[in-house]
Chain A
């Protein structure tokens, strides 16, 4: 008998060697799922806690500091209370301080909207850089801290009378969500998170809305 024929017969004779029965799919999956379920809760929580610890801690310290600054220095004023502004001497008939009181006051809301402008401008710059991929390339070392600081400022604006304007409130809400994702991406280099953030930017048209809310003229801060 030649070698090929013998090998063929060998294969035939070996065919029922440890011949497998039908796969017990359901039984095995039930055990796998049980095992996975028993392991799942502990792991991601541990990883996530460690990985986002620093940005979260930084944001918390910033918020605490700002809160102490706002309410600690002037404890008699309620949150979102009166704000003193001084108009330029040449525009004020008497060159005196004008004080507006109450969060619902139109002038005050206008002031808060004016105060929101630098935040919106910084956000526009940061998101433009993000879209251009600078953060992913890792060539902007303080990208993460800028995003975290903007996140805090956005949160504060959301809590201020500036957010009484529906359009601005919705824009700030979307901005907060995107910035939170960017902080996570910068901290963890997660590609999925980046894709979601980019999709969010596009779908919510955040950049065009930001640009529409930024007043013309020189920025009242340095970038």
Chain B
């Protein structure tokens, strides 16, 4: 069924239409939430909250934007707020530091991956989000710009900036671990 018809039905309180909208979009929302939070429970909570808010506010949705874009902008807001509240990044860094010696031994590229993941964690949210959406989840710059309400050029420059930060972090780690070619 056409999505705008589904939206009209969901607005009128049709639970089956809400379920259909959920089925169509839940995967991408959940994947993005998980990429950002790195925690299953938190990703589930964010996904649920995103859909609950979306259905509650459906009456205010203007169809000039795609439903998917509107839904993603809610998801990004929910995820960033959750991350700010929980300060999960800090605890994750602690976990990784605790696991440090064991992780470094098996292989050099494993150690570099850990360094890379730490470097991604350390990116500012605005850069990390663009990097994860574009490089890991395959969103186009136009989609990212619409979701984050940015010009397309800003999305591209944020991605370039994020990659540069990661290259630099890996360069430092690589020199310590005996060369970037082993990545």
Q: Which of A3, A17, A28, A35 contacts B35 (CB 8 A)?
A: A17
Which chain A residue shows the least CB distance to B37? Answer: A18
- Min CB distance A71 to B, Å, is 41
- Min CB distance B168 to A, Å, is 11
Taking the complex as formed, is B97 at the interface, i.e. its CB lies under 8 A from any CB of chain A?
A: no
User: Which candidate, A4-12, A142-150, A159-167, is the interface stretch facing chain B?
Assistant: A4-12
Question: Which chain A residues numbered 9 to 32 have a C-beta less than 8 Å away from chain B?
Answer: 9-11, 13-21, 23-25, 27-29, 31-32
Q: Is the CB of B116 within 8 A of A10?
A: yes
Q: What are the residues of chain B within 8 A of A11 when measuring CB–CB?
A: 135-136
Q: Is the CB of B22 within 8 A of A1?
A: no
Taking the complex as formed, is A39 at the interface, i.e. its CB lies under 8 A from any CB of chain B?
A: yes
Contact pattern, B 25-43, Cβ under 8 Å of A = 1, otherwise 0: 0110011001111101001
Chain B residues bordering chain A, tally (CB within 8 A): 43
Which chain B residue shows the least CB distance to A43? Answer: B56
Q: Is the CB of B38 within 8 A of A7?
A: no
A-B contacts, CB under 8 A, total: 89
Q: Is the CB of A13 within 8 A of B23?
A: no
Q: Provide the bound-state CA to CA distance between A192 and B30, in Å.
A: 33
20 A–B pairs (Cβ distance < 8 Å), ordered by A:
A3-B167, A9-B183, A10-B135, A13-B113, A14-B117, A17-B35, A17-B38, A17-B120, A18-B34, A18-B132, A20-B31, A20-B34, A20-B35, A23-B30, A28-B48, A31-B48, A32-B22, A36-B15, A36-B18, A36-B52
B→A interface (CB under 8 Å): 8, 12-13, 15, 18-19, 22-23, 26-27, 30-31, 34-38, 40, 43-44, 47-48, 51-52, 55-56, 109, 112-113, 116-117, 120, 131-132, 135-136, 163, 166-167, 170, 180-181, 183
